[in-house]
Amino acid sequence: MPTFPDDIPTVPAPPLGLPAGTPPPGFVQAQTPIQRSGGIGLWLRDLFVSAVASVLIITFLYQPVRVEGTSMLPRLEDRDRLFINKFVYHISAIERGDVVVFHYPRDPEKSYIKRVIALPGDRLRIDHGQVWLNGKRLLENYVPEEYRDSRSYAEMVVPEDTYFMMGDHRSISSDSREFGPVERSLIYGKAVFVYWPTRDAGVVH
C-alpha cells in the first residue's frame, strides 16, 4: 500500500453524485513545499524591489541634511536633521516662503539654509526690520517678535535669475542682506521634513 508524506493529504473520493475530481465540501488543499518556497521567493523579491526603490528615492529625490546654527529658529534648531527635496525645482518654480538649501555664494563648499523672501523682478526694501515687497508690507508670521531686528536695506529690484534669502532669526542671521541675492544655479534643494529629534519632527513651513 503506498504511503504519503504527512504534509500532503490524500484526496478522498467525492461523495456520490459529484463529478470525478470535485473536492468534497469543506476540503482545503494544503500548500506543497514548492508552493511555500515560491511564496518566500516572491516575498524576498518584493523586499528587494522596495529596498532598491528606497535607495533610489533617497539618492535622486531626497537627501538627509543636518542644520548647523540657529539662524532659522524657531522652526529649525541647531543639529536638527531633515530631508530636502532635490528634484522638486526641476518641475516647479521656487516660491516666496520656501525654505531652501543653497551653496554659499562666497564659498560654494559650504551650504546655507534660508527662507526665500523675494523672487526675480521683485522690488524690495527693508525699513528697520520690516520687509516691503512691491510697495506692500510683507507679513511674516514665521518670525517671532523677539527674533526681529531693526536693520534696514536700501530699495532694490532683485536681479533676473536670483533670489533674496533671509533667516527667520533676523537678529543673528547672515543672509542676502550681507552677501546679496543668490543665483538660481546655487539652489539645490527644498527643506520638506524634520525627522530628528522627534520633538521637532514635522513638515517644514
Residues 107-119 have pLDDT tens digits of 999 999 999 999 9
Total-model pTM:
0.74
pLDDT band at 19 (very low <50, low <70, confident <90, very high): low
Rounded mean pLDDT of 82-94? 96
CB-based contacts of 81: which residues, under 8 Å, 6+ apart? 64, 65, 66, 67, 194, 195, 196
Give residue-wise pLDDT tens across range 119-130.
999 999 999 999
The full DSSP string for 84-125 is EESSHHHHS---TT-EEEEEETTEEEEEEEEEEEE-TT-EEE
Which of 54, 86, 114, 173 is flagged as catalytic? 114
Q: Is 71 a catalytic residue?
A: yes
DSSP calls for 53-78: HHHHHHHHTEEEEE--SSTTTTTS-T
Selecting among 37, 50, 54, 71, the annotated active-site residue is 71
Catalytic, 176? Answer no
What is the enclosing helix (H) or strand (E) of 148? none
Q: What is residue 9's three-state secondary structure?
A: coil
Domains of the chain: 62-203 (2.10.109.10)
Kindly report which listed range (25-29, 46-50, 155-159, 162-166) carries the lowest average pLDDT score. 25-29
CA–centroid distance for 193 within its chain: 5
